[in-house]
Each structure stands twice: as C-alpha cells, then as structure tokens.
Amino acid sequence: MVNPIPAAQVSSEKDIAGVEVKPEVKVEIQNLSFFYGKNQVLRNVSLDVPAYQVTAMIGPSGCGKTTLLRCLNRMHDLYPGNRYEGSVRIYPGGTDILGPGMDPIRVRMRFGMVFQKPNPFPKSIYENVAYGLRLQGMNKRRDLDERVEKALRESALWDEVKSRLHQLAHNLSGGQQQRLCIARAIATDPDVVLFDEPTSALDPIATSKIEELIVEMKRRVTVIIVTHNLQQAGRISDRTAFMYLGELIEFGETNRMFTNPAKPQTEDYISGRFG
Amino acid sequence: MNEPTMEANEDRLERVRSYFRGDLLVLREALLRMASLAHTNLSIALESLVERDPVKAQKVITDDQEIDRLEVEIDEMVAGFMATQAPMALACRLMLAASKLCNDLERIGDQAVSIGRRSIILTDEPPLKPLLDIPRMGVKVLDMIRMATDAFVEITPEKCAEIIKMDVRVDEINRQLERELTSFMIEDPKTITRALNLMLVARFFERAADHAKNIAEQVYYLYTGNDIRHEAELNKS
C-alpha cells in the first residue's frame, strides 16, 4: 500500500536575491476522492497546482490521472452515479468548484480542455473558435473577429488558416486540428487549460509544435497536462505529479523528479520497470 | 534523522544493482576496466620511479593507449544510450557520471604517462635523495583511486567522504615536497634539473589525486543524487 503525500505540495524556490519564494497557487486540490458508482478511483489526492506553470501528470494506465483532470472541469457530471469528495479551489478567490450550487458550465469556462484526439466541431474553422465566445454572450462580429484572430495567433495557426477561416475544420491536418482545439480552448480566456495526452495521435513534427505552444501558453494561463510520454513531461513541464492506483505518490520539480526521484515507486515507473 | 534499517538499505542496494543489466552492465564493466588500467599504470609509474626502471616507464607510456581507447568507447556508449533510451533517475545520473568518470580516469592515465617520462629522465642522473615522500604520496593516491572504484562497485557512497579528505593530505605532502626541493635548489644549483623533475612528479601525483577526488564526488552524486562538488568553497562564499 502506498502512502499519499499529505500536505503542502508546492515547494518554494529562490528568487535572484536568494530569498525563498513560494509560487502562487492556482488550483488547490484537497483530499479529493472520486467514485465511479461504488468504484473509488481517486484516493484522497491533495495537490497545489502552481499558477503560470506547466504541471504534468504521469502514471501507468488506470492510475487516475485522466480522472483527476476531468474532475477539474466537472466533466464527470455528464454521467450519472459519479461522486466527488474533497475540494478543488481555484484562485484568486478560492471558489470550490465542487461546492454545492456551482454551475459546471461556469467551471468549464475557467478550465479549458484539449483532448487526446483532435475533436473540432463539424463547423468552419472560425465557428469552432467563436463557439465558446458565443456561449459567453458575445455576438458582435467585430469583437468575435478580434478574439478569433487572437486565439488563432496564440495557437500558432493564424498564418496557416487566415485565408480559409470559413472552410470546414475537418479539412485541416491532424496537427492543425489539434491546434484549432487549443485555440477553441483558449478563446474564452480560461484560467487553466487541461490537456489530456494532446499529442498521442500526432506525428513528431506536429507534436513538437504543440509542445512549443504549451510552453509559450504558460505565460498567460496555467497548464495541466496528462501524458504517457515521459520525455514530453520532461521537456515541457515545470512540475510533475506521479500517480499510482488512484493516489498521488510524488509531486515536485520535474528536473528533480526525473533525475533523483524521492519515492521508489516513482523511480520504478520512470525507469520503465512497471506500468 | 533515523538511520536506515538494514532491510531498507538492502532494498536500496538491490534497487541500484537492478539497474546494472544489459547496456548499463556493459558500461559499468568498461568503466571498471578503465579504472583498473589507470590504477595499474599509475602504480607501475611509481615503481619505475622508485626502482629507476625505464622499461616499466616505457610500459606505462605504451599501455596508456588502451585507456584512451576505452575513453572513446565509453563516450560512444553514453551518447548511444542517451540518444536511444532516454535514461531517467539513476540511469540518467549514471550517464552524466560515466562521462565524467572516464574523463577523470583518462587524465589519471595521462598523469601516469607524465610520471613515466620524468622517471626515464631521472634514471639518467644519480638520485638526488632517497625517495620517501613521493612514494608515500603515490601510495595514498593509489589508495584513493582504489577506494573510489570500490565505492562505485560496492554502492557505498558513504565512503566517498574519506577519499575527499585524503586529497587534502596529498596536497599537504605536495606542498611540503615543494619546500624541500626548493631548498635543495637554493643550496646547490646543480640539483635544479633533478629537483624540478621531482617537483613535477609530485605535481602529477597531486593532480591524479584531484581526479580521484572528482571520481569520489561523482560516485556520491550517482548513488545519492546530491552534488557535493565545491561544497566547501560555496559554503564559504
């Protein structure tokens, strides 16, 4: 039986004067448990996700990392019989997104999500990006144009699609479709963008573009990414959380975790001995 | 802090041992072969000096080629492993350590060659004085190399602190020798060439000790993940 890490997760760093500073926390997950019906999938997970950093979640299949990610935008609410325990607070404000009365749609506005396989809507490129904005009540053409262009530029897609914004999104390549999904996710200005293995269906060149994009994005938003690709976690994340059997085993700076993990289970996993 | 129990320690050792299989085992064996050759060569260089034997000195020079060859081979292994296996955790530290260890071992081999060359020159002239401190220093350096290799093989990073301390003693002997040999040169200028050659030999051993210390620091890093290089200087500043 492995023990979850109990307390404060975000370790301090030193500023240029050598003074210890604690990174600002964006999402505070406390004692989070999750049940698919009677089946408990997450066990008492506590984790402070730092703001404006990339946090990677790694672990063998079935360890609960995607389940945890989906808790953050209340995606499990779409299916009956699912149950959360614990809290997930988002800062500033400290609102508990699992709290009673919290509208899942509003939660999803603050937590954008990009999935494993590119899933653009069967609409034009423009309409895909404008979709969330329209849901937010934005209807003026000029405002929409501005925000669509901004999102497409930030997802490094603008130059490739600016001349065919009204063509079907499905005509784009796989990598372009995934960047379109990123544009769609960031168009509504979320606080956090969740990525669930965003490059597992892409070739190395498309993967590299998405990775560059994620690193670039952290200047504006907090990023949480689930990945099976340890090298990807190493390349793009600032911090890594290792999960196993529904528990958080270790969370820390990626460099430290990949060169000198504190827990034997983490070491076994990243060195390819199980999972 | 609680001392790790014997069971926990055995578990840790088993975990580390389990890394050394396949390519990593081959890498470890190559490093050990290189360490053994470097130790042997330095030992023969010391013998050539003490016994005034130019044949042994020449052997040191010839045998160094094998150490150089191993350096290239190990570097190729490390580059290949990093490019294809994306090593993590201890395997990642091993890559870094192996690359540095083989560099330090190659430099120890070079110091042995330099001592061998000086030894040949010194054989042509009568002895300046009975050699006492240089053999004492040489034996200490050889001990340091052996102990560092043992720490690598036996997975005993705790022994590295002792090796690092020994380097301080070697530095002291070197300084003492410099003073003594300088006084020889001041008293009788005819001794200058021999005294300078002995001074150089002492310096070569002192450098070999520095490399042995580097190896100990790398072994410590490899097994604990903690970098203890330049710790004293950094703490001072």
Number of CB atoms found within 10 A of residue A53's CB: 19
The residue assigned the tokens 């050792």 is B13
pLDDT > 80? residue B228 = yes
Whether B15 and A264 lie within 8 Å, measured CB to CB: yes
Whether A270 and B15 lie within 8 Å, measured CB to CB: no
Whether A258 and B86 lie within 8 Å, measured CB to CB: no
Nearest-by-CA chain A residue for B14 = A264
| Average pLDDT estimate for A232-258 | 94
pLDDT the model gives residue B2: 53
User: C-alpha B107: how far from its chain's center?
Assistant: 8
> With contact defined as beta carbons under 8 Å apart, do A227 and A60 qualify?
no
DSSP state string for A108-152: HHHEEEE-SS----SSBHHHHHHHHHHHTT---HHHHHHHHHHHH
pLDDT in tens, A148-203: 999 999 999 999 999 999 999 999 999 999 999 999 999 999 999 999 999 988 88
| Chain A residues close to B87, C-beta within 8 Å | 271
Chain A positions touching chain B (beta carbons under 8 Å): 230-231, 258-261, 264, 266-267, 270-273
Which pair of structure tokens corresponds to residue A109? Answer: 């506005």
Whether B89 and A261 lie within 8 Å, measured CB to CB: yes
| Average pLDDT estimate for A55-84 | 92
Tell me the average pLDDT of chain A. 89
pLDDT > 90? residue B9 = no
Dist. CA B10–CA A264, nearest whole Å: 13
| Average pLDDT estimate for A202-210 | 89
Q: Position B83: which residue type?
A: A
Dist. CA B175–CA B152, nearest whole Å: 30
Query: With bands split at pLDDT 50, 70 and 90, how would you rate the model's confidence at A274?
Result: low
Of the partner residues B19, B86, B89, the one whose CB lies closest to the CB of residue A259: B89
pLDDT the model gives residue B129: 85
Which pair of structure tokens corresponds to residue A6? Answer: 């109990």
pLDDT the model gives residue B85: 84
A163-170, Cβ contacts within 8 angstroms, sequence gap of 24 or more: A164/A125, A165/A124, A165/A125, A165/A126, A166/A124, A166/A125, A166/A126, A167/A124, A167/A125, A168/A122, A168/A123, A168/A124, A168/A125, A169/A120, A169/A121, A169/A122, A169/A123, A169/A124, A169/A125, A169/A128, A170/A120, A170/A122
pLDDT in tens, B65-113: 999 999 999 999 999 998 888 898 999 999 999 999 999 999 999 999 9
Count how many residues are written for chain B. 237
| Virtual torsion, Cα A57, A62, A66, A68, nearest 10 deg | -80
Q: Position A182: which residue type?
A: I
Of the partner residues A230, A259, A271, the one whose CB lies closest to the CB of residue B225: A259
Task: Supply φ then ψ for residue A82, to 5 degrees.
Answer: -85, 150
Dist. CA B88–CA B7, nearest whole Å: 25
pLDDT the model gives residue A4: 42
Tell me the average pLDDT of chain B. 93
The residue assigned the tokens 């959360």 is A84
Whether A259 and B91 lie within 8 Å, measured CB to CB: no
pLDDT the model gives residue A6: 45
Query: With bands split at pLDDT 50, 70 and 90, how would you rate the model's confidence at B1?
Result: very low
pLDDT the model gives residue A7: 38
**Shortest CA gap B198–chain A (Å):** 44
Within an 8 Å CB–CB cutoff, is residue B80 touching chain A? no
Give the mutation candidate from B11, B88, B90, B96 for the A interface (greatest A CB count, under 10 A). Answer: B88
Within an 8 Å CB–CB cutoff, is residue B91 touching chain A? yes
| Chain A residues close to B157, C-beta within 8 Å | none
pTM: 0.80
Using a pLDDT cut of 90, give the percent of chain B over it.
78
Within an 8 Å CB–CB cutoff, is residue B112 touching chain A? no
Count how many residues are written for chain A. 275
Of the partner residues B11, B89, B225, the one whose CB lies closest to the CB of residue A271: B89
**Shortest CA gap A39–chain B (Å):** 33
Nearest-by-CA chain B residue for A261 = B89
A8 or A103: which leads in pLDDT: A103
Whether B86 and A267 lie within 8 Å, measured CB to CB: no
**Shortest CA gap A257–chain B (Å):** 8
pLDDT > 90? residue B14 = no
pLDDT the model gives residue A3: 44
pLDDT the model gives residue B22: 86
**Shortest CA gap B94–chain A (Å):** 10
A79 or A47: which leads in pLDDT: A47
pLDDT the model gives residue B230: 81
| Average pLDDT estimate for A218-231 | 94
Whether B89 and A230 lie within 8 Å, measured CB to CB: no
Which pair of structure tokens corresponds to residue B198? Answer: 């002995």
Dist. CA B198–CA B203, nearest whole Å: 9
How many interface pairs between A and B have CB atoms less than 8 angstroms apart?
A: 31
Whether A258 and B93 lie within 8 Å, measured CB to CB: no
**Shortest CA gap A235–chain B (Å):** 12
Nearest-by-CA chain B residue for A259 = B89
**Shortest CA gap A18–chain B (Å):** 13
Whether A230 and B88 lie within 8 Å, measured CB to CB: yes
| Average pLDDT estimate for B194-199 | 96
Q: Position B116: which residue type?
A: G
pLDDT in tens, A12-59: 666 556 666 667 999 999 999 999 988 999 999 999 999 999 999 999
Using a pLDDT cut of 70, give the percent of chain A over it.
91
Whether B91 and A271 lie within 8 Å, measured CB to CB: yes
Query: With bands split at pLDDT 50, 70 and 90, how would you rate the model's confidence at B61?
Result: very high
> With contact defined as beta carbons under 8 Å apart, do A255 and A11 qualify?
no
pLDDT the model gives residue B100: 96
